[in-house]
């Protein structure tokens, strides 16, 4: 086969894959394209190997970003796709073009500061975020494409999970608790969570860092305790994608995660917990550090979620929403679209079209 286009995906973290795979499947439809995934040796490498084998991914292992950059400059691919900022771009741009696809669309300032090291193009989700990034970085190239991570859900191309395979009751409604790693609500929850929601299934989908980083040992301790209850399933590192769980859940509980936008975009209710466990140097006179970490977008989450200021309020609102019919108003849907852009199942196609035409 005559290879015309070579496209590499930089998988610095396993949780970048749900953004990459919909694009990969579009690229597979084109005959003259070679795709390679570059994985980093750090955590859960055996699980990564299983994913590589199960997904039949052409792959390369590296130990660091420096090693990855050396590989890129030697291989000279047409495009390299990154899920975050990356050093050594000046050297890489002598050989290849680069693109960035944010690994999430959440309310943290890092979403915008990722463009401090500019790639050839950055794909963004919505008109609002396109305009804001363009104002911040007027000389850089941005392209509005929508949110490719949700394409499989819209196109019914998700590897579905049977609730019974999680040892949960198919006759019960399902709560999806998806806290981020920091700032997180996880340590503010009661140990009695499984009992407090005894009439429901609970799927725990923690952030990858809660499972992999040493400093979040307390997260794992709490999660592992909850997982001993019959009505609880704890998603571990092999469950790297939240997408199948978005489909299973009847309601989501979260805090500062972009998963709230993803779930709400499916016209499902979201509880946003604003009671958070903050480090001592983020509290009191140092509270400015929390505000510096969070973007002003966070203030708009109240327009499409239900705020819970305490654990008790979270219980009450969750029970109320699960016992009543729910539909997002058009106004609230517009707020979601402000951040997620058009969700039509074609974001990946738009990305691939651009990559191929601009090779």
pLDDT of residue 117: 85
pLDDT of residue 281: 54
pLDDT digits (tens, 9 = 90+) for 112-124: 777 888 999 999 9
Fold of 5-147+343-357: Rossmann fold (3.40.50)
pLDDT over threshold 90, residue 303? no
Average pLDDT rounded to a whole number, residues 231-247: 95
pLDDT over threshold 60, residue 32? yes
Average pLDDT rounded to a whole number, residues 252-276: 91
Tell me, yes or no, if the two domains 5-147+343-357 and 165-340 fold the same way.
yes
Cα Dmax for the chain: 63
pLDDT digits (tens, 9 = 90+) for 279-299: 545 555 445 455 555 556 667
The 8-class DSSP code of residue 139 comes to: T
Average pLDDT rounded to a whole number, residues 328-337: 82
Which residues neighbour 217 within 8 Å (Cβ) at sequence distance 6 or greater? none
Average pLDDT rounded to a whole number, residues 333-341: 87
Domain ranges within the chain, ordered by starting residue:
5-147+343-357, 165-340
Distances in Å between the Cα of 327 and the Cα atoms of 73, 124, 270, 316, 333 are 50, 27, 11, 19, 10
Report the sign of the C-alpha dihedral through residues 55, 59, 62, 64, in that order: negative
3-class secondary-structure state, position 288: helix
**99 in Cβ contact with 123 (< 8 Å):** yes
pLDDT over threshold 90, residue 257? no
**What's the predicted TM-score (pTM) here?**
0.91
Per the model's pLDDT, the better-predicted residue between 215 and 172 turns out to be 172
Mean pLDDT computed over every residue of the chain: 90
pLDDT of residue 3: 78
pLDDT of residue 285: 47
- Give the C-alpha separation, 208 to 221, whole Å: 15
pLDDT of residue 335: 83
pLDDT of residue 339: 86
Distances in Å between the Cα of 20 and the Cα atoms of 36, 99, 145, 333 are 11, 12, 14, 26
Per the model's pLDDT, the better-predicted residue between 83 and 115 turns out to be 83
Fold of 165-340: Rossmann fold (3.40.50)
- Name 205's bridge partners: none
Per the model's pLDDT, the better-predicted residue between 67 and 326 turns out to be 67
pLDDT of residue 105: 76
pLDDT of residue 108: 59
Q: Give the confidence band of 170 by pLDDT, cuts at 50, 70, 90.
A: very high
pLDDT of residue 141: 95
């Amino acid at each position: 086969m005559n290879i015309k286009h070579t496209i590499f995906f930089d998988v610095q973290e396993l949780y970048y894959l749900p953004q990459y795979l919909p694009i990969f499947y579009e690229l597979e439809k084109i005959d003259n394209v070679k795709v390679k995934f570059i994985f980093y040796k750090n955590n859960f490498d055996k699980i990564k190997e299983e994913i590589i084998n199960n997904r039949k991914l052409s792959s390369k292992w590296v130990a660091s970003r420096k090693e990855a950059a050396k590989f890129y400059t030697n291989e000279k691919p047409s495009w390299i796709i990154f899920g975050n900022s990356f050093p050594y771009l000046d050297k890489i741009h002598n050989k290849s073009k680069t693109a960035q696809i944010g690994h999430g669309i959440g309310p943290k300032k890092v979403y915008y500061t990722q463009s401090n090291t500019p790639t050839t193009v950055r794909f963004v989700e919505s008109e609002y975020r396109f305009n804001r990034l363009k104002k911040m970085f007027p000389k850089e190239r941005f392209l509005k494409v929508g949110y490719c991570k949700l394409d499989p859900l819209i196109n019914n191309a998700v590897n579905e999970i049977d609730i019974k395979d999680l040892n949960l009751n198919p006759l019960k409604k399902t709560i999806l608790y998806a806290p981020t790693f920091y700032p997180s609500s996880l340590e503010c929850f009661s140990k009695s969570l499984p009992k407090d929601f005894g009439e429901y299934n609970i799927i725990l989908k923690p952030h990858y860092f809660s499972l992999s980083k040493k400093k979040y040992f307390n997260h794992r301790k709490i999660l592992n305790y909850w997982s001993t209850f019959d009505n609880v399933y704890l998603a571990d590192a092999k469950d790297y994608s939240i997408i199948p769980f978005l489909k299973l859940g009847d309601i989501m509980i979260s805090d500062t995660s972009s998963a709230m936008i993803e779930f709400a975009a499916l016209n499902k209710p979201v509880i946003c917990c604003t009671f958070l466990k903050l480090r001592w140097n983020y509290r009191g006179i140092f509270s400015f550090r929390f505000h510096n970490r969070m973007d002003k977008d966070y203030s708009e989450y109240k327009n499409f979620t239900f705020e819970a200021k305490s654990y008790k309020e979270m219980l009450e609102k969750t029970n109320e929403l699960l016992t009543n019919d729910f539909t997002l108003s058009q106004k609230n849907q517009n707020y979601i679209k402000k951040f997620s852009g058009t969700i039509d199942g074609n974001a990946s196609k738009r990305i691939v079209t651009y990559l191929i035409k601009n090779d």
